[in-house]
Amino acid sequence: MKRFKKWMRAKPKFPSIAEVSPEDVGREELSSALEQNETIFRDIFKNCSDIVFRKARYAGQDSLVVYLACLVDEQVIDDHILKPLFESGNKQETEPAALGAAALSESIISAGATKLSSQVKEIVRQVLDGYAAVLTDSDGQALLVKANGVKHRSLEEPSSEQVIRGPRDGFIENIATNLGLIRGRLKSARLKTESVVIGDLTQTQVVITYVAGIAGDSLIEEVRDRVSRIQIDGVLDSGYIEEFIEDLPYSPFPQVHSTERPDVVVAELLEGKIAILVDNTPFVLIVPMTFWTGLQASEDYYTRWPIATFVRWIRFLFIFIAIFAPSLYVAITTFHQEMIPTNLVLSIASSREAAPFPAMFEALSMEVVFEALREAGIRLPKQIGQAISIVGALVIGQAAVEAGIISAPVVIIVSITGIATFAIPRYNFASGIRLLRFPLLFLAGTLGLYGIVLGFLCIVLHVASLRSFGVPYLTPLGPITTTNLKDILIRSPIWSRRFRPQATGGSNPVREPAGQKPSPYRNKRK
């Protein structure tokens, strides 16, 4: 052990990202000499085959256009940058004026989004983000022209959140398109967007979105603080951000809601919550999240309220089945047979007569096989994934029962549990529920119903103590808020939901005025 510590002290440290980052090569600010600036950028982008240095002459002066061919639209470069430069260079200038970067933007370059910068690091970052840098020979500034041209997939319905009635568009991997989908539904200047770049190497754009006047100031400041504290070399998906900002990282319950649907994001923003968009991923994060968010689907608000209320109560029943059905079967058949009716206990006993394993091992093995089939169905190509999962479950279950390895009631219980898990609308929430089944199985197999009660108390205590950005996880049921219960236990009519959730929309609680209940005599002339 002493040798290992001595070796660790003597081992040379790896250089930090900032020490080897190409953005720090050369001087911090541009020079007024074009040749010197060209040398700086050629050194920075050394061994980069996709970088383009295009010289052009305008108004009797030299200029240099720098861009990455893989990130820009060549048509924008040709029509709005190079062509105007060459046309101005062909004009006869009696007294060539010293046109700097600012004058280029005003009189020559016809692109819409432009900005000026003299910082080498900023210019390199913008070039890596799809901008073209136009360098002149008259001042120490560069004109940055937005020319993004990376191809993205078209808008389509999210496969993880399909609905029968509701919008069919979903987020894609382009953050500008995703912001447009939100602004297309929320046409208000009160919708604020704050951008920050995270990732020393990926330079991923992260946008915090909220509705001013509805979202609380303390919640906005907390989200800003947690996001700004993130230090990492790269961000590839919003899941990276989620793990950095959640309150309790060891909990199986998600504390950050993720969705691919723009209508869900807008609905949450109108309740005073905050959305976090990450570039290059279609999943948008929403905070804070409560326990009841995991049991609600966007379609609940597009169908009639009695049907939506009935479906919600079905979900409450299914979440109980998904957590406790296998453990209850193991506990009752192993320790508490007197609780089962006589005819049923005889049927179960006859089916388990040839089974060589105890009930806990049977249930545990079938749960593991079911999870393996579920994972295989997801990872395999779509053409054969569903067939493998369905056929595999049927074949393995039937063969195990006929061979006498597994009893038939266990197969039935595990199948019902799997169906109940599929009924939970939020995938990340359902994943946490699936995980809870296994410790409850061990408690049921060792302590019986006492173990299940002990596990249930631990779950309730954990969920009751859990918070998401300061908001209790069980709100509005714990602590109880009677005005908000009508959107938890039931789905009340839209015209009766006068108030926003008190935990997130307290700064602007009134959603709609009273007296909007529809009536055939309401508008009848007297």
Q: How confident is the model at residue 411 (pLDDT cuts 50, 70, 90)?
A: confident
Query: Quick one: tokens of 339?
Result: 């609780």
Residues in the chain: 526
Span 104-154, pLDDT tens digits? 877 788 777 888 988 999 999 899 988 999 998 877 889 899 888 877 888
**What is the predicted pLDDT for the residue at 478?**
80
C-alpha–C-alpha distance, residues 434 and 427, integer Å: 10
Work out the pLDDT band at 506, boundaries 50, 70, 90.
confident
- pLDDT: is 287 or 155 the higher one? 287
* Tokens 């020393």 sit on residue: 200
Residue 94 has pLDDT above 80, yes or no: no
SS3 content of the chain, % helix, strand, coil (to 5): 50, 15, 40
pLDDT at 524 (0 to 100): 54
Q: What is the pLDDT of residue 387?
A: 63
Mean pLDDT, to the nearest integer, of 512-518? 84
List, for residues 215-274, the tens digit of each pLDDT value: 999 999 999 999 999 999 999 999 999 999 999 999 999 999 999 999 999 999 999 999
Write the pLDDT tens digit of every residue in 377-400. 777 776 666 666 666 766 777 788
Q: What is the pLDDT of residue 342?
A: 83
Q: Using CA atoms, how far apart are residues 42 and 127, in angstroms rounded to an integer?
A: 13
Structural contact between residues 109 and 149, judged by C-beta atoms closer than 8 angstroms: no
pLDDT tens readout for residues 455-485:
999 999 999 999 999 899 998 888 888 778 8
- Rounded to whole angstroms, the Cα distance separating 381 from 352 reads 37
Q: What is the mean pLDDT of residues 321-329?
A: 93
Q: What is the percentage of the chain residues whose pLDDT exceeds 70?
A: 89
Tell me: pLDDT of 517 over 50.
yes
| Higher-pLDDT residue of 93, 449 | 449
Please work out, in degrees rounded to the nearest 5, the angle formed at the alpha carbon of residue 207 by the alpha carbons of 252 and 276. 25
pLDDT of residue 234: 92
Domain ranges of the chain: 17-146, 175-289, 305-472
Measured CA to CA, the distance from residue 281 to residue 153 in angstroms comes to 12
CA distance 287 to 242: 10
Judged against a pLDDT cut of 80, whether residue 5 lies above it is answered with no
Neighbour count for residue 476 (Cβ, 10 Å) = 20
Q: Using one digit for the tens of pLDDT, what is the confidence trace for 143-199?
A: 899 888 877 888 888 888 888 888 989 999 999 999 999 999 999 999 999 999 999
205: left (phi over 0), alpha (psi -120 to 50) or beta: beta
The residue with tokens 């056929």 is 391
pLDDT at 16 over 50: no
Kindly state the greatest CA–CA separation across the chain.
Answer: 109
Contacts of 148 (CB under 8 A, 6+ apart): 71, 72, 73, 129, 130, 131
pLDDT at 7 over 70: no
pLDDT bucket at 330, cuts 50 / 70 / 90:
very high
Mean pLDDT taken over the chain: 85
pLDDT band at 90 (very low <50, low <70, confident <90, very high): low
